[in-house]
Structure 1
Amino acid sequence: MTFTRFALRRLAEMAATLLAASFLIFGAMYLAPGNPASFLLSGRSASPAAYQAINDQYHLNDPFWQQYLRWLGQVLRGDFGRSIEYRTPVSTLIGARLPSTLLLVGMALVLVVVVGLALGWLGAVRGGATDGAVLVGTTFAVGTPSFVAAVLLQGLFSVKLGWFPSGGSGSGFGSMLWHLALPATALALYLIGMLARVTRSAMLEVMGHEHVTVARSRGVMERQVIRRHVFRNTLGTVLTMGGLIVSTLLICTVLVETAFSVDGIGQLLDLSTTTKDFPVVQAISLIIVGIFMLVNFVVDLLLPLVDPRVALGTRGATG
């Protein structure tokens, strides 16, 4: 299969999957208990005419299929509707909070890749006490959920030691980096442990392959053997985790942003779910699904470049 044909097929699959996801997301909000009109009235009693006016304004009484098609048409034009709680366009709300979330996820992703790969490399290459320490550390990391890590880090480094801010997003790039340091660490901890373990296992497996033994018998320096013949052959396995890593970061950012009071889309999703702000929940959910699918699409395109033995459209461990 040619690269162009594969890319076009995957794009068509992504479009179909997004359409199905949009239907499920809208349907879940449609079937959710509660009435947005009650929130708009802030618990105040209102006449049937007032309820009718609100329902007409937001088309809440229209049949499901009409509401869905109207919403889908707006989404295709880049219009996610109007927030019920904030009374402003949803795209404006998301646009204001998206930079904080993207920076948080980006910082966490850098930590996951750099620290996870480094620990996996050390455990596989050094062995002995170093490998034991890596296994103990990664076991602790994998066993610590993001919200627990957020509470522990906030209590130690913010409340007790006062080294980092306890919450907020900061203003300006430097201030944002400082404020998001602890949230990014809490967000990355679990994935660091998981990636380190996968990298270590993959490298140990490749070390037992014949081509590695042959390279060593020819007098190739151990450093080059590890870099060219071992680590390079594990990158395919690591790359297949790309979608899982990004999706986990996006999901866990809801808990971490809430714990650290970060003004991102994760916190916005949590607040909007509580207040039944359906347009915001629908928009953020669809964006998360789209990002996840885009990452998997990029991984599928890069995998054959990292490991030529993998054909376009296939996934699996290399070695």
Structure 2
Amino acid sequence: MSPRFVAARLATLVATVIVSSLAIYGAMFLTPGDPATLLVGGSRDPDPHVLAEVHREYHLDDPFIQGYWHWLSGALHGDFGKSLVYRDTVAHLIGTRAGDTLALVGFAAVLVLTAGTVIGTFAALRGGRTETLATTLTAGAMAVPTFVMSVLLIWLFAVQLPWFPVYGSGEGFTGTLAHLTLPAVALAMTWIGYVAQVTRTAVRAELRAEHVETSRSRGVPERTVVRRHVLHNASGPVLAVSGVGIAGLIATAAVAEQAFGTGGLGALMIEAASKQDMAVVQAVSLIFVVVFVVINTAVDLVSAAFDPRLSGKGTP
């Protein structure tokens, strides 16, 4: 992996975060009227003293770039300001909710990686009706939105078959696992379909590769051929789509959190947006953008390590 490639990816990460943070901060100024009214919850008749305090704390009277820098530099130090709607610091609100989102996304990511790769690999190796059935089911999973899948899972596994709880995040390991199973499945289902489809295509392509046929003609056992050549060479595109899928889980976690009442960051952002609590919305949006971009950059770097051609070192 060339240093130039790494530097380019890191520069892209920084540029994306800066542009996104400018858009997030600037969105508050696009609405008519005083931006301070949004920070106090959009009250129609806010207290002038409160507005003056908000102007001072959030540097709203400063030039745009100067106010943006105060906000961003504070965010870099974990200071996102105060929520006047929740009567608490934004950092504390995020800290109390981040664990639920992390557990949900982590659970869903495990499901995406394991189920997606196993289904795709099994379908490609078996072929025939097995491959057709797997392709049909995964295509169907890709077509169902997360909120529809949430409703279906609640109806089946909480109403018809009361196997899982459907509200809250639970306590303890077993309680958390039981409460997060349905939202994790609902969140992961679409990306399981994507990963399975890409895995199947990549494995099928490697099975027809010339070096695989050469290994077989030399009498190399089929298990060895599959493990050393097929699966190893197919891991590049599978890893890439898996990383994008995990980043996508973060972007859509709010839907599952709201449907199942797990109370994570996504649900917090939706609640704050409904109450026009811009300080919370800005902070959570920035965190989501940073995590999304960091994961995608990490995937690019790992994929380039598996395939040196992606970093410009190999031959095209």
Pairwise same-fold verdict (TM > 0.5): yes
Find the aligned partners of 2:50 and 2:268 in 1 and give their Cα distance. 28
Question: Contact 1:257/1:267 (CA < 8 Å) preserved in 2?
Answer: yes
Find the aligned partners of 1:289 and 1:45 in 2 and give their Cα distance. 33
Residue 78 of structure 1 deviates from its aligned partner by 2.1
Structure 2 equivalent of residue 143 of structure 1: 143
What letter is aligned with 1:149?
M
Change (3 A) 1:50 1:263: closer
Structure 1 equivalent of residue 18 of structure 2: 19
Structure 1 equivalent of residue 286 of structure 2: 286
What letter is aligned with 2:25?
F
Question: Contact 1:80/1:279 (CA < 8 Å) preserved in 2?
Answer: yes
Find the aligned partners of 2:46 and 2:5 in 1 and give their Cα distance. 57
Deviates more, 1:234-243 or 1:188-197: 234-243
What is the SS of the residue equivalent to 1:310? Answer: helix
Change (3 A) 1:312 1:248: same
Question: Contact 1:30/1:64 (CA < 8 Å) preserved in 2?
Answer: no
Change (3 A) 1:245 1:41: closer
Find the aligned partners of 1:80 and 1:67 in 2 and give their Cα distance. 13
Question: Contact 1:39/1:275 (CA < 8 Å) preserved in 2?
Answer: no
What is the SS of the residue equivalent to 2:147? Answer: helix
Q: How big is each residue's C-alpha offset from its partner over 1:222-271, in whole Å with a ceiling of 9 and x where there is no partner?
A: 22222211111111111222442122101111111000011100100111
Question: Contact 1:123/1:131 (CA < 8 Å) preserved in 2?
Answer: yes
What letter is aligned with 2:238?
V
The alignment status of 1:250 with 2:250, answered yes or no, reads: yes
Change (3 A) 1:46 1:271: closer
Change (3 A) 1:63 1:241: same
Question: Contact 1:36/1:84 (CA < 8 Å) preserved in 2?
Answer: no
Change (3 A) 1:41 1:207: closer
Structure 1 equivalent of residue 98 of structure 2: 98
What letter is aligned with 2:143?
G
Structure 2 equivalent of residue 271 of structure 1: 271
What is the SS of the residue equivalent to 2:309? Answer: coil
Find the aligned partners of 2:41 and 2:137 in 1 and give their Cα distance. 51
Change (3 A) 1:26 1:139: same
Residue 61 of structure 1 deviates from its aligned partner by 5.2
What letter is aligned with 2:153?
L
What letter is aligned with 1:162?
P
Question: Contact 1:203/1:234 (CA < 8 Å) preserved in 2?
Answer: yes
The alignment status of 1:118 with 2:123, answered yes or no, reads: no
Structure 2 equivalent of residue 239 of structure 1: 239
Residue 53 of structure 1 deviates from its aligned partner by 5.4
What letter is aligned with 1:130?
T
Residue 56 of structure 1 deviates from its aligned partner by 4.9
Q: How big is each residue's C-alpha offset from its partner over 1:111-147, in whole Å with a ceiling of 9 and x where there is no partner?
A: 0010000110111110111111101211210111111
Question: Contact 1:188/1:249 (CA < 8 Å) preserved in 2?
Answer: yes
What letter is aligned with 2:30?
L
The alignment status of 1:211 with 2:211, answered yes or no, reads: yes
Identity fraction in percent: 43
Change (3 A) 1:301 1:48: closer
What letter is aligned with 1:116?
G
Find the aligned partners of 1:97 and 1:77 in 2 and give their Cα distance. 19
What is the SS of the residue equivalent to 2:288? Answer: helix
Structure 2 equivalent of residue 169 of structure 1: 169
What is the SS of the residue equivalent to 1:31? Answer: coil
Residue 311 of structure 1 deviates from its aligned partner by 4.3
Q: Which runs of 5+ in 1 are unaligned?
A: none
Q: How big is each residue's C-alpha offset from its partner over 1:69-114, in whole Å with a ceiling of 9 and x where there is no partner?
A: 2212212322111123112111111111111101100110000010
Find the aligned partners of 1:245 and 1:29 in 2 and give their Cα distance. 30
What is the SS of the residue equivalent to 1:167? Answer: coil
Structure 1 equivalent of residue 108 of structure 2: 108
The alignment status of 1:202 with 2:202, answered yes or no, reads: yes
Normalised TM-score (structure 1):
0.89
Find the aligned partners of 1:312 and 1:93 in 2 and give their Cα distance. 40
Change (3 A) 1:268 1:194: same
Deviates more, 1:54-63 or 1:262-271: 54-63
